[in-house]
Amino acid sequence: MIKLKYLFATLFLFGMIFTSCETEEEPEEEEQEVIEVNEVSIIPSSTSGRPNQKLGCIEISSRITTIQVWDHGQIDGDIVSIYANGATLINQQTLAGPDSPITVDYDFGFNGFNYVTLFAHNLGDIAPNTCTIAINGVEFVLEANLDTNGSIDVIVSGYGVDCSSSGNGGGNGGGSGGGGNGSNTGDLVFWTQSDLGCGPINVSLNGVGSTNITGFFSGGAPDCSNNSGGGNFNDLAPGTYSFTASCSTLNWNGTVTIQEGVCTQQELLGGGGGGGGGGSGTGDVKFWINQDFGCGPIDVNVSGAGSSTITGFFQSAPLCDNSNGGGNFNNLPVGSYSFTASCSTLSWNGNFNITEDGCLQFQLN
């Protein structure tokens, strides 16, 4: 009996040890959501019965966004609907100015290519219908009319896709429409025309980065491809950017507007100050072409500023003080303007912005 009692005790102890040594099962890992990467543009051919015209491309770092929309330039009663990847973000609302934007939180849902489309319900007081859109602070401008929508590729970057994959989103090959050379981006150069005696000038562009101006150009504004004096920002998404600049004794601040295919030359004047250095309050625009379209002289009309005739072409963008070939509008007050242009077989129309002491080189494609 005693031996049996010891046997039961031994079996019980063994069972306890065996049970305590059992390996606990690891909890199952939750499956991570797989986000699809679109490697090509998904802009549809049409939205709400109108064809979509691709106007450019921007890159953002996250699918999760805050989107703000306001009237571009003069507030003129534009009524719009905004679509993203087929979803309605804004439904037939009247746009106010940048101080009262319409704000929407939106998850684009894809990495790589997404899109945003502007549908115009009217033309406002100044055609066409235009709006500025900021996605997580990245600004760009869309325009549309009662026949065609404006669309833009929105790329969530970091997945082997960028705007170089977007293809040609600008221009209509000499047909109607705004300017630009089809690059989907624009360029900017800050410059001075003399040595201001305060050392290198550091220029910071909001959301882009900084560069130093280390030289000056006494003969006039440099082309954006000329980086000999510094101050260059290339391949910028269209939109309005704020900037600051400083050297040892001077400071500047202001805004610049980038347009597709356009070189914007922003002079910093010796007085320092805001809006490009406390300058003249005016700027210039030069309309130009890079080939003979075979349709004779091109008459350009700018709202409130008169007309000029393009009679020649250039292999690269001319400076605004170059009156050869025509197309010059100088000393325009800072602001937004609409234009029309036409020759015997082609026509163009669109909008542009004049910045203080800037030279806007507007190519007609």
Furthest C-alpha separation in the chain: 123
Percent of the chain's residues with pLDDT above 90: 20
For residues 134 and 101, the answer to whether their CB atoms sit within 8 Å is yes
For residues 211 and 233, the answer to whether their CB atoms sit within 8 Å is yes
Say yes or no to pLDDT of 128 above 90: no
Residue 257 lies in a domain: yes
Residue 28 lies in a domain: no
Q: Which of 97, 131, 165 is the last residue of a domain?
A: 165
Q: pTM for the whole thing?
A: 0.44
| pLDDT on residue 28 | 64
| pLDDT on residue 10 | 60
Please indicate, yes or no, whether residues 41 and 160 belong to a single structural domain of this protein: yes
Say yes or no to pLDDT of 353 above 70: yes
Say yes or no to pLDDT of 188 above 60: yes
Please indicate, yes or no, whether residues 269 and 289 belong to a single structural domain of this protein: no
Say yes or no to pLDDT of 6 above 70: no
Count of the separate structural domains present in the chain: 3
| pLDDT on residue 33 | 76
Report d(CA 48, CA 148) in Å as an integer. Answer: 10
Residue 7 lies in a domain: no
Please indicate, yes or no, whether residues 43 and 59 belong to a single structural domain of this protein: yes
From the list 267, 240, 208, 301, the residue with the least C-alpha distance to 73 is 240
Query: What is the chain's mean pLDDT, rounded?
Result: 80
Please indicate, yes or no, whether residues 61 and 136 belong to a single structural domain of this protein: yes
User: CA 220: distance to chain centroid?
Assistant: 27
Torsion angle, alpha carbons of 191, 193, 197, 198, to 10? -10
Percent of the chain's residues with pLDDT above 70: 82
Q: pLDDT tens digit string along 258-292?
A: 877 788 888 887 655 443 444 567 888 889 887 88
Please indicate, yes or no, whether residues 152 and 197 belong to a single structural domain of this protein: no
* All residues at 6 or more sequence positions from 11 whose CB lies less than 8 Å from its CB, including other chains: none
Say yes or no to pLDDT of 158 above 50: yes
Strand 335-342 and strand 347-354: pairing? Answer: antiparallel
Please indicate, yes or no, whether residues 352 and 310 belong to a single structural domain of this protein: yes
**Domain with 235 in it: what CATH number?**
2.60.40
Please indicate, yes or no, whether residues 145 and 43 belong to a single structural domain of this protein: yes
| pLDDT on residue 249 | 81
Residue 124 lies in a domain: yes
Please indicate, yes or no, whether residues 44 and 156 belong to a single structural domain of this protein: yes
Please indicate, yes or no, whether residues 67 and 154 belong to a single structural domain of this protein: yes
Q: How far apart are the first and last CA of the chain?
A: 108
| pLDDT on residue 90 | 95
Say yes or no to pLDDT of 179 above 60: no
Residue 32 lies in a domain: no
Report d(CA 289, CA 313) in Å as an integer. Answer: 5
Residue 1 lies in a domain: no
Q: pLDDT tens digit string along 24-44?
A: 556 666 667 788 999 999 999
Q: pLDDT tens digit string along 208-247?
A: 788 888 888 876 778 787 778 888 888 888 888 888 888 8
Question: Three-state SS across the chain?
Answer: CHHHHHHHHHHHHHHHHHHHHCCCCCCCCCCCCCCCEECCCCCCCEECCEEEEEEEEEEECCCEEEEEEEECCCCCCCEEEEEECCEEEEEEEECCCCCCCEEEEEECCCEEEEEEEEEECCCCCCCCEEEEEEECCEEEEEEECCCCEEEEEEEECCCCCCHHHCCCCCCCCCCCCCCCCCCCCEEEEEECCCCCCCCCEEEEECCCEEEEECCCCCCCCCCCCCCCCECEEEEECCEEEEEEEECCCCEEEEEEEECCCCEEEEECCCCCEECCCCCCCEEEEEEECCCCCCCCCEEEEECCCEEEEECCCCCCCCCCCCCCCCCEEEEEECEEEEEEEECCCCEEEEEEEECCCEEEEEECC
Please indicate, yes or no, whether residues 263 and 315 belong to a single structural domain of this protein: no
| pLDDT on residue 24 | 53
For residues 101 and 325, the model is more confident at 101
Please indicate, yes or no, whether residues 352 and 265 belong to a single structural domain of this protein: no
Where in the sequence is the domain holding 242, given as residue range(s)? 186-274
Say yes or no to pLDDT of 9 above 50: yes
Please indicate, yes or no, whether residues 42 and 158 belong to a single structural domain of this protein: yes
For residues 170 and 121, the model is more confident at 121
CA angle 152, 157, 162 (to 5 degrees): 60
For residues 304 and 280, the model is more confident at 304
Report d(CA 69, CA 169) in Å as an integer. Answer: 21
For residues 69 and 261, the model is more confident at 69
Structure tokens belonging to residue 3: 């031996």
| pLDDT on residue 108 | 94
| pLDDT on residue 311 | 85
